[in-house]
Amino acid sequence: MNRIAVLVLCGLATAAALFVSVWPIVYNQGQDDINGFGRQAGWLAEEPFPPALTQKVFPIGIGSNITSRRIQMDKDDRYQEYIFDTFANGDKGTLFFNERSVLTELTMEYAATKTKVWFRLADDGVTILQKRTSDLSTGALIEDGERGVDNRFVLRTYVPGTKQVTRIRTYEARAMILRGGLASIDLTARDESFYPNNQLAYLFVASDVLHSQRWDYAPDGKATKYLKIDYRAQNGWFFYPDGLTKRMSFERKRIERNGIGYWEVHTDYFDSRGNLEANRVFTRSSMIVSVDLPGIGKVHQTWQMIVPYKAEPLRLVKDNFVLSFVELDSSNGLNDVRFVYKDGALSEFWYQTRLKSDASSSIQVRLTLDAASGSVVSQAILDQKTQKQLSDVELVDVSPSHIVAPAGLNQMLDYDPPPALAFEPDYPQWEH
């Protein structure tokens, strides 16, 4: 077998190995939030490259993203290759290998975004040193990035065809590296975005993938929100247009109860003067609202989630809750009362009292109501200390025969859902 044939066959084997690791990373990089990780293409079952030719178009079998391949050797018998690929979606790719069979340059043309992306790689064939994105038809520069002396990769985004910067992203030193399977191409250490007036729109800073902070601003420079992530915990606040007065604050935190860690999202809502209006606690399946209602006073409403595992943007909206019960300090001349609702109607009324014969007793009376009239249908008396039901006892407070809930007690006030959800409980790990 002559020298050219040997070189070509060796080159194909090397190119194949590199393609398996390269294409899953770069495929669809021109589209936001799509990286193609894991898109392994079984394209290697091809006919041998004819040694008498310097280029050849290969048809690719069904089941691959690549529809055809053209491989071109350097005419001076040097071990250099250009590999041209055409994908089923219209994308095109070109890889260039040096004489040591190391991938040094990579170019992708994306049909969907009509952009062209060029990469220059280090001597290891995987570390990205430069990246340049341009408009496929006009050639206008869109993105330009390079690895600095600290080994971090800085990528600038421009208004196409101008030098106006709209975004600057700084990636960790171990990011922007082509790898098969899981890749670290998006480990962002810092991300800045700018308005057309060059005012900062947001600033994102991360010490690692589990700890980060973000500040958002209006075009006039006033703060609009702040978010902080600390592993599973998260907190932040949103501002009124003055950029100083908090409109809402939230915190996702872990609450320990009986050896079990329950995750909850606590939120506070404020008026334009900064006064607290309402507090909401979101659990995995409920929302507890503490608020002062006009003409009623302080109440605690417990709303049950209708679909606890609804998609994240919709899980915490008001339409996904139904009222379960409302608690007040006093109502109808009785203390520590609870109005229980079923299918939107008042179904039960609970209150706390004592036995006439025992001033230290703690008794809960539960009245079942007729939903239509509010009349008492039945009564249950429970000893709070022993959890036993009592009968034929004399109470300090006499149960009413008819219950009417205060007007507006069951109303759902408008609110903005927090940008965080409660996690599943952390159960203790028992030793065997």
pLDDT given at position 429: 64
Domain boundaries, position 350: 333-390
The DSSP bridge partners found for residue 155 are: 145, 169
Residue among 128, 117, 138, 99 nearest 31 (CA): 117
Burial of 7 (0-12, 13-18, 19+ CB in 10 A): buried
**Mean pLDDT lowest among 33-37, 227-231, 258-262, 374-378:** 33-37
For residue range 403-413, what is the model confidence (pLDDT) as tens digits?
Answer: 999 999 999 99
The predicted-structure confidence for 111-157, as pLDDT tens digits, reads as follows 899 999 999 999 988 899 999 999 999 999 999 999 999 999 999 99
Same domain, 248 and 142: yes
- Dihedral over alpha carbons 177, 181, 186, 187 (to 10 degrees): -80
Residue 427 forms part of a structural domain? no
User: What confidence tier does 428 reach under pLDDT thresholds 50, 70, 90?
Assistant: confident
- Per-residue model confidence (pLDDT) at position 365: 95
Number of domains composing the chain: 2
Whose structure tokens read 């009592």?
Answer: 390
Is residue 25's pLDDT more than 90? Answer: no
Pairing of strands 211-217, 141-147: unpaired
Q: pLDDT per residue over 30-68, tens digit each? A: 443 332 222 233 322 333 333 333 333 334 443 446 555
State the pLDDT at residue 347: 96
State the pLDDT at residue 186. 63
Q: What is the pLDDT of residue 47?
A: 37
Arithmetic mean of pLDDT, 294-315: 89
Q: Copy the structure tokens of residue 264.
A: 């909850």
pLDDT on residue 258: 86
* H or E segment to which residue 9 belongs: helix 3-26
| pLDDT at residue 180 greater than cutoff 50 | no
Residue 429 lies in a domain: no
Please tell me whether residues 137 and 62 are part of one structural domain.
yes
Under the banding of pLDDT at 50, 70 and 90, the label for residue 2 is very low
**Does any domain span residue 320?**
no
What per-residue confidence (pLDDT) applies to 339?
97
Contact between 254 and 262 under an 8 Å Cβ cutoff? The reply is: yes
pLDDT above 90 for 216: yes
Give pLDDT, residue 160: 87
- What torsion do the CA atoms of 109, 111, 112, 117 make, to the nearest 10 degrees? 10
Whether residue 311 is contained in a domain is answered as no
Classify residue 280: in a domain, yes or no. no
Q: Do 404 and 410 meet the contact criterion of CB atoms below 8 Å apart? A: no
In a domain, 202, yes or no: yes
Contact 139, 150 (CB under 8 A): no
Strand 141-147 relative to strand 334-342, pairing: unpaired
Instruction: Please check the confidence at residue 382 and state whether its pLDDT lies above 60.
Output: yes
Strands 115-121 and 128-135: antiparallel
DSSP letters of 338-349? Answer: EEEEETTEEEEE
pLDDT at 174: 83
- Joined together, the tokens standing for residue 427 give 């159960």
154 and 81 in one domain? yes
Note the pLDDT of residue 265. 95
Compute the residue count for the chain.
Answer: 432
Whether 116 is in a domain gets the answer yes
Is 24 exposed, middle or buried (CB count within 10 Å of its CB: 0-12, 13-18, 19+)? Answer: buried
> Structure tokens of 271?
């008026």
Quick one: 268 and 342 in the same domain? no
Do 188 and 40 share a domain, yes or no? Answer: yes
Read off the pLDDT band of 314 (50, 70, 90): confident
CA-CA-CA-CA torsion for 204, 209, 212, 216, nearest 10 degrees?
30
| Mean pLDDT value across the chain | 81
Residues 372 and 230 in one domain: no
pLDDT of the residue at 29: 43
d(CA 250, CA 241): 18
- Give the per-residue pLDDT at 304: 96
User: What is the pLDDT at residue 66?
Assistant: 58
Q: 323-372, pLDDT tens digit by residue?
A: 999 999 988 889 999 999 999 999 999 999 999 999 999 999 999 999 89
pTM to 2 decimal places: 0.73
Judgement on whether residues 373 and 249 belong to the same structural domain of the protein: no
- Does any domain span residue 26? yes
Q: What is the pLDDT of residue 3?
A: 38
Chain segment 270-297, per-residue pLDDT in tens = 999 999 999 999 999 999 999 999 889 9
Roughly how many angstroms between the first and final C-alpha of the chain, as a whole number? 65
